[in-house]
Amino acid sequence: HGAINMLGLAKRLNAKILQASTSEVYGDPSVHPQPEDYWGHVNAIGPRACYDEGKRCAETLFFDYHRQHGLPIKVVRIFNTYGPRMHPNDGRVVSNFIMQALRGEPITIYGDGSQTRSFCYVDDLVEGMLRFMDTGAEHTGPLNIGNPGEFTMLELAEKVLRLTGSSSPIVHKELPQDDPKQRRPDIARAKALLDWEPQVPLDEGLARTIAYFRQRFVT
């Protein structure tokens, strides 16, 4: 409903509208890294499917409005993003690991920790989105915006422990259903169209994020 309401508003005002879609539309990908023309490997009835399918449905609506009404749309598929001002209890892996490390609690890894993600610092994401909004109406996307640097959950936990100086132990728990084993964006299209690629390495972005969490949430 939210997507339809915003599309209706954009149509009335003839405004350009951006959809913040997600790499989750690729599901647990059988193609790696994931280019925009990959249709995905998705479980439509899994425990997280309401999120994935909601985003896929919104993409469909955006392209329907573009085709039927000539609405200028931009659809970006955002891969894992992190940085200062994340909520400490948002359930994302970066905030989980940092809060656990700063509090000296065990760091929780699901499965053996070999599953990978690619983490994009928030400033890089915003820059990519702004550049995309400045392109001509013929460029609708979908466009991957993310960092192609790929890390295992074990590597991420070890980086967080090193950067926080924490002595938290790492504990393993059962892997949730439909947890993607690999996730890395193919950003060739964004590089070519926007002359954009991420500038902030993971260690630097994590250090900035840890400083924020230490200041705001840990006494």
Looking at residue 182, its pLDDT comes to: 86
Alpha carbon distance 171, 87 (integer Å): 23
Ordered structural domains, the chain, with CATH: 2-217 (3.40.50.720)
Positions marked catalytic? 51
Q: Percent of the chain having pLDDT more than 90?
A: 89
Rounded to 5°, angle at Cα 205 from 200 and 101: 160
Instruction: Return the SS3 of 81.
Output: strand
- pLDDT one-digit tens code per residue, 81-105: 999 999 999 999 999 999 999 999 9
* pTM for this predicted structure: 0.92
What angle do the packed helices 202-217 and 153-164 form, to 10 degrees?
60
- pLDDT one-digit tens code per residue, 118-145: 999 999 999 999 999 999 999 999 999 9
Alpha carbon distance 58, 17 (integer Å): 12
For residue 185, pLDDT beyond 70 = yes
Please state, rounded to an integer, the average pLDDT across all residues of the chain: 95
Alpha carbon distance 189, 1 (integer Å): 30
- pLDDT one-digit tens code per residue, 16-72: 999 999 999 998 889 999 999 999 999 999 888 999 999 999 999 999 999 999 999
Cα atoms found within 13 Å of the Cα of residue 151, Cβ hemisphere only: 19
Do 183 and 34 form a contact (C-beta atoms < 8 A)?
yes
Looking at residue 48, its pLDDT comes to: 84
For residue 179, pLDDT beyond 80 = no
Looking at residue 22, its pLDDT comes to: 95
Looking at residue 219, its pLDDT comes to: 64
Looking at residue 122, its pLDDT comes to: 98
Looking at residue 139, its pLDDT comes to: 98
| 180 — pLDDT class (breaks 50, 70, 90) | confident
